[in-house]
Chain A
């Protein structure tokens, strides 16, 4: 079998995904103009010599009135409109960061006594993260409940009280074009946008490593050889390289690409799997954090249409509210409110340049209240203080 044939059988898109993926690939030619600014000088000279040889033309492009940054949709002057919503939005958000202070995601405060909700797949191990509030208080997190179906985790900020919890309002009645206000910069800055598409379910496509595989291994090693790695994929981030031979994933030996596929695809984006592999005849191990298949596919060509990256998990949600607020993956987990200050959802996935998903309040709040109540009043309560 040639590499090409293996491509068809590796982590290449299934027919359904292919239909979804093809459009963006097809459009790259016209939209991938990253460097449109660079206009070679010969065009300028050339245009001047063609039909018009006038002093006007030699001036090349004249300055045109450009809207100052502060007056743009998410510029300071426009955001002044939502300044008074801050106590209901940014004040009800916090920042989840690594031990070194790197932003991981945002969190939404749902209980005065330290209960917060945020994006589960971005924070697989709460022991390695901490929470920082707007007033500067920083503390550890205790996991209360992890709900993979919603990609939400509820945690309690240890030893914190007197927080301002969000006030929820209904998301389902919001029509396209309804203004929303959210928080960026890990909970500090307001940003606005609108409901940009129908509320709907987002089916899952499974997790992926971002590799292309070949069963033919050197010197008969029993494993699966990596023959290609997608840019910014889980495999690349974990340090895997072409020609590494995968021996075992999550303690299961693999000898066929199907086995790799089966193990990976059953897991959720954000989950960590340990991989044992052979590099230059030496056995090594690494830990890989899986991502959504859709994320991996978008990155095969190394094109980042999202400006700032996309979330590890971008699909498999029971219901999402789609909006056009300009946010980063590290802003996920923060609240999304109406201009009345009612929080209607929690940002759950940065998907591409134009799309952010929020879980509408209806999809999680009834359940989340139960997690909080059960934790506050457990049968044998030992409260973390």
Chain B
């Protein structure tokens, strides 16, 4: 139950960075940001309506209903060869066969690939077919999405209903966190895994959870999808920090007075300690990529599965050294 909440807490460090980006963006955008205009008029609403109605015939073709043993959900096709985005809690594990119903009611199958259980992002692959699948593009600059911007949601709430078809919701972005978008597009069971679109018709989020109020609808943003893309395509599972295979190294970092990434502490018995990482080491690079801040380092480590080997370049007392560290699984008792 709580595992779905942990991401919100866990990414506190990343959150601040995104905040700075948002702040910078808001400054750059200045007063031109229409969504911030205090009063809406009928013309503005009609513009929203005409935009949605223009995009809908195309984007709805990429929406699918997904049926697993445990219930029904939604998903969205994002490539001609049938790559599918959904929520991690829909398949629950890689390699699961799922029944998929397309917008026109035709039925096919898909197999789940990898997933990031920390954020509820998952990939699946539709059965190969000769004809290209209808698909929508995903948005790669979701961090720029601002509270107040209009968006729209599609899904199959309550399950696939042929007489009804997909259900549309139009609303606004209420807030953005490092991994999620909150909107007032009202969702319910069965919508899980369905797409949230911006007004260029790109997917910006995947429906994930609801809280009690009608304005509290949470979508996984494209950020974790893009971050974990390679791992998910390889059918890897990124689990919660505590329990996870998502790269347990066992060091605590701090930004030094010289604004370098330094090791503050090494956890007893961790892969880092076994490899010889010491408190006070400055982390220069991982697998050849220069490390400049904590977020980058965290993301780099987290993107690797347990068992992967990292080459870490360190400096201490002016002397550089390179270590190989094999990432481990975080011990369960510490995770819970």
- Which residues of A are interface residues toward B (Cβ below 8 A)? 19-20, 22-31, 33-34, 36-40, 43-44, 46-47, 49-54, 56-57, 59-62, 64-67, 69, 71-74, 77-78, 80-82, 175-179, 192-198, 200-201, 305, 307, 322, 324, 326, 339, 352-355
B12 touches A354 (CB 8 A): no
**C-alpha gap A19/B65 in the complex (Å):** 14
B250 touches A51 (CB 8 A): yes
* Minimum CB distance partner of A194 in chain B: B170
Residues B1-21 near A (CB distance < 8 A): 1-2, 4-6, 8-10, 12-13, 15-16, 19
Q: 5 closest A-B pairs (Cβ-Cβ)? A: A26-B71, A27-B189, A53-B252, A23-B159, A67-B147
> Which residues of A are found within 8 Å of B42, using beta-carbon distances?
81-82, 339
**C-alpha gap A179/B212 in the complex (Å):** 25
B189 touches A34 (CB 8 A): no
Nearest CB in chain B: distance from A197 CB, A? 5
B167 touches A49 (CB 8 A): no
Nearest CB in chain A: distance from B192 CB, A? 6
A81 touches B158 (CB 8 A): no
**C-alpha gap A62/B17 in the complex (Å):** 10
Q: Mark B22-56, 1 if CB is under 8 A from A, else 0.
A: 10000000000000001111101110110011001
> Which residues of B are found within 8 Å of A71, using beta-carbon distances?
38, 148, 172
Partner of B294, one of A54, A59, A60, A197: A54
A65 touches B212 (CB 8 A): no
Residues B214-248 near A (CB distance < 8 A): 214-215, 241-242
Residues B179-203 near A (CB distance < 8 A): 182, 184, 186-192
**C-alpha gap A64/B19 in the complex (Å):** 7
B12 touches A59 (CB 8 A): yes
27 CB < 8 A contacts A-B: A27-B72, A27-B190, A31-B192, A33-B209, A34-B211, A39-B6, A39-B9, A47-B12, A47-B241, A51-B241, A51-B250, A51-B253, A52-B253, A53-B252, A54-B294, A57-B12, A64-B19, A66-B174, A69-B215, A73-B171, A77-B40, A80-B40, A197-B168, A200-B164, A339-B45, A339-B46, A353-B187
B175 touches A51 (CB 8 A): no
B2 touches A39 (CB 8 A): yes
B45 touches A72 (CB 8 A): no
Partner of B40, one of A29, A81, A194: A81
**C-alpha gap A73/B185 in the complex (Å):** 9
A177 touches B168 (CB 8 A): yes
**C-alpha gap A355/B175 in the complex (Å):** 24
A326 touches B49 (CB 8 A): no
Nearest CB in chain A: distance from B331 CB, A? 12
Q: Total number of A-B contacts with CB less than 8 angstroms?
A: 259
Partner of A26, one of B72, B147, B251: B72
> Which residues of B are found within 8 Å of A197, using beta-carbon distances?
164-168
> Which residues of A are found within 8 Å of B212, using beta-carbon distances?
34, 307
B188 touches A72 (CB 8 A): no
A51 touches B168 (CB 8 A): no
Nearest CB in chain B: distance from A250 CB, A? 32
* Minimum CB distance partner of B215 in chain A: A72
> Which residues of B are found within 8 Å of A78, using beta-carbon distances?
40, 172
B214 touches A307 (CB 8 A): yes
B169 touches A43 (CB 8 A): no
Q: Does B206 contact A (CB under 8 A)?
A: no
Q: Does B269 contact A (CB under 8 A)?
A: no
> Which residues of A are found within 8 Å of B267, using beta-carbon distances?
49
B158 touches A24 (CB 8 A): yes
Q: Mark B276-308, 1 if CB is under 8 A from A, else 0.
A: 000000000000000000100010010000000
> Which residues of A are found within 8 Å of B38, using beta-carbon distances?
71, 77
B163 touches A200 (CB 8 A): yes
> Which residues of B are found within 8 Å of A27, using beta-carbon distances?
71-73, 188-190, 192
B172 touches A62 (CB 8 A): no
**C-alpha gap A354/B154 in the complex (Å):** 11
A64 touches B177 (CB 8 A): yes
Nearest CB in chain B: distance from A224 CB, A? 31
**C-alpha gap A353/B209 in the complex (Å):** 13
A81 touches B215 (CB 8 A): no
B250 touches A47 (CB 8 A): no
**C-alpha gap A60/B12 in the complex (Å):** 6
**C-alpha gap A31/B249 in the complex (Å):** 33
Q: Does B82 contact A (CB under 8 A)?
A: no
* Minimum CB distance partner of B188 in chain A: A353
Q: Does B89 contact A (CB under 8 A)?
A: yes
**C-alpha gap A31/B38 in the complex (Å):** 33
Interface contacts beyond A26-B189, A81-B39: sample of 13 additional A-B pairs, CB < 8 Å, sorted by A: A23-B158, A34-B211, A47-B10, A51-B251, A54-B264, A67-B173, A177-B56, A177-B170, A197-B165, A324-B169, A324-B170, A339-B46, A353-B186
Q: Does B310 contact A (CB under 8 A)?
A: no
B39 touches A355 (CB 8 A): no
Partner of A30, one of B22, B89, B168: B89
B15 touches A61 (CB 8 A): yes
> Which residues of A are found within 8 Å of B166, using beta-carbon distances?
197
A33 touches B12 (CB 8 A): no
